[in-house]
Amino acid sequence: MLAYCDRPWDSSIGKVAPRYGEATPIRLAVNAVMAGCEPEYLPVLMAAVEAMCDPAFNLYALQATTHPCAPLLIVNGPIARELEINAGVNAFGQGRQANATIGRAVRLMLMNIGGGYPGTGDMATLGAPSKFSFCVAENEAESPWPSLSVERGFDEGISTVTVVGAEPPHNVNDHASSSGIGILKMIAGTMRTTGNNDIYNYQEGTYPQPLVVFGPEHAKSVSDDGYGKEAIRQYLFEHARVPLGEFSRENIDNRFSRRYGADAPADLQIPVFKRPQDLLIAVVGGPGKHSAVFPTFGATQAITRAISREDGRPALSIADLKAR
Amino acid sequence: MSDELTLLVPEAPAAEPEIVDRGQRKASLDALRLGLLDNSKANADHLLRMLVDHVSVGMKVASVTTLRKGSVALPASETILDQLARDSDLVLSAMAD
C-alpha cells in the first residue's frame, strides 16, 4: 500500500480532530487496505487528509456536529483520469473501485485516527449515506467552464483534491428547461430551503461556500446561453433567497434578528449564500437532465491541495510518487 | 524467513493534552469578576443568566462580562478570549439547545 509514498512512513500529515490523532502514511495505509484501495490511491488520500487538517476546514466541528455533513472529495487533473476516478455516469453512486474505496478510506481514517465514532466523536442526529464514502472526480472533458481546481488557483494539468464539508446531493431534476435561465431558475429553487446551514451558520468575514454540481447536459445548455461561472454565481446569489417569514418565529429570534434587526419584515429576502464569489461550481456526471445542490455545514471553508511529491512539487503522474 | 509477525493497528492514540499555565487563582471569592461565554446556541444566554443568578446568591459578584461567539460551530476568537482573560476571574461557558 505504500508503494507510491515518497516520504517517511511515520512522517506527520496532520492531526485529525476531534481526537487529534496523528495521521501518518503508515496509519493511512492500514485504513486504505481495510477500505480496499489500490496502492496508487494512497497519494489522493494523503492530499485529502492534508486538506482536511487545514484549520479553515473546521474538521473538529464537521466531525462532531449533529448535522449530516461529510467531507466530499472532488479530484481534478490527470491523476483523476489515471486512477479512473469516476466523473461520469453515476459518479456519486456505486460501481467504481477508486471512488468507493478512497471515500471509504477517508471515513475509516476519520474514525480510527480522528476518533469520529458515532455516538462519541460523531454526534450526527441522522447521519447520511455520504458518510460511508463521498469521492468523485470532476468531468473536465465535458465541462464548458474552467475546472474547479483552475478556479481555485491551480494550473491546468495539476492534479488536486478539493474537500468540501457538504450535505449529500439535493437533486435538481429539470428535463423541461431547454434554456440556461430555465435551468438556473430550477437550481435556485432547489437551493432555497429553510433547513439550510449555509443561510445562518457562519461568522462575519468568513462565509459559507455551497456547491452546485451541474450535470454535463445542463452545463452545456447554460453555457450555450452565454452563462459563465461568474454570471451563474450572480444569478443564483440574486435568486436563491428565502423570505424571512418562511422561518419559524423562534428561528427568526435566535438566528436572524441579530443580523437583520428585530423588526425586519417578513418579505426580507435572505440570501442562501452571502457573496456571489463564495459559490463553488463543478461539472460531474453522465447523460441526463440532472444537476445537484450541496449545502454545506456552513462554518467550513473548502480546501484544495495539489497531489504533490515530498519536495512540494506537484506530481504529474502517480508514478512520480513511487517510493524510492 | 523470520517468524516475526508485525501487526498494524488502524487507530491513532489521542494527542497528549497540552499543559497550560492556569495563572493566578483568586484567594477569595469576594468581588468576583464573572465572564460569560455565550456559545450562541439557542437558549445558551438563558442558561448563563440562570447560572449568574445562582452564583450571585452565594457570593458577591463585582462585574459580569458577557461575550458571544460569532458562530456556534467555530472557536471563540482570540479577541474574545483575551477580553475574558483580562476582565474575568471565572468564566462560565454554556451549551444549550
- Where along chain A do its domains lie? 1-140+151-167+300-324, 169-295
Could you tell me the pTM of the whole model? 0.94
Q: With 90 as the cut, is the pLDDT of residue A285 above it?
A: yes
Q: How far apart are CA A264 and CA B6, in angstroms?
A: 65
Q: Number of Cβ pairs closer than 8 Å across A and B?
A: 56
Q: Which residue of B has its CA nearest to A250?
A: B42
The answer to whether ipTM exceeds 0.95 is no
Q: With 80 as the cut, is the pLDDT of residue A203 above it?
A: yes
Query: Which residue(s) pair with A203 in the sheet?
Result: A206
Residues of chain A above pLDDT 70, percent = 100
Residues of chain A above pLDDT 90, percent = 98
Q: With 80 as the cut, is the pLDDT of residue A317 above it?
A: yes
Res A184: pLDDT: 98
The stretch A289-315 carries a mean pLDDT of: 97
Q: How far apart are CA A128 and CA B87, in angstroms?
A: 43
Distance from CA of B60 to the nearest CA of A (A): 31
Cβ–Cβ below 8 Å for A27 and B70: no
Q: How far apart are CA A221 and CA A281, in angstroms?
A: 15
Res B21: pLDDT: 76
Which pairs count as long-range contacts for A305-310, CB under 8 Å and 24+ apart, including other chains?
A305/A47, A305/A48, A305/A50, A305/A51, A305/A160, A305/A161, A306/A47, A306/A154, A306/A158, A306/A159, A306/A160, A307/A43, A307/A44, A307/A47, A307/A77, A307/A79, A307/A159, A307/A160, A307/A161, A308/A47, A309/A6, A310/A6, A310/A7
A198: left (phi over 0), alpha (psi -120 to 50) or beta: alpha
Cβ–Cβ below 8 Å for A22 and B12: yes
Q: With 70 as the cut, is the pLDDT of residue A237 above it?
A: yes
Mutation to test the A interface, candidates B71, B77, B80, B95, most A Cβ within 10 Å: B71
Res B73: pLDDT: 92
Q: Which residue of A has its CA nearest to B44?
A: A254
Computed over every residue of chain A, the mean pLDDT equals: 97
Res B1: pLDDT: 63
Contacts of B13 in chain A (CB under 8 A): 21
Q: What is the pLDDT of residues A211-228, one digit of tens each?
A: 999 999 999 999 999 999
Q: What is the pLDDT of residues A94-152, one digit of tens each?
A: 999 999 999 999 999 999 999 999 999 999 999 999 999 999 999 999 999 999 999 99
Q: What is the pLDDT of residues A31-78, one digit of tens each?
A: 999 999 999 999 999 999 999 999 999 999 999 999 999 999 999 999
Average pLDDT, consecutive stretches of 10 residues, N- to C-terminus, chain B (97 residues)? 87 87 77 92 88 89 93 91 93 82
CB nearest to B10's CB, from A22, A34, A254 = A34
Res B18: pLDDT: 81
Q: What is the pLDDT of residues A150-172, one digit of tens each?
A: 999 999 999 999 999 999 999 99
Q: Which residue of A has its CA nearest to B77?
A: A203
Res B28: pLDDT: 82
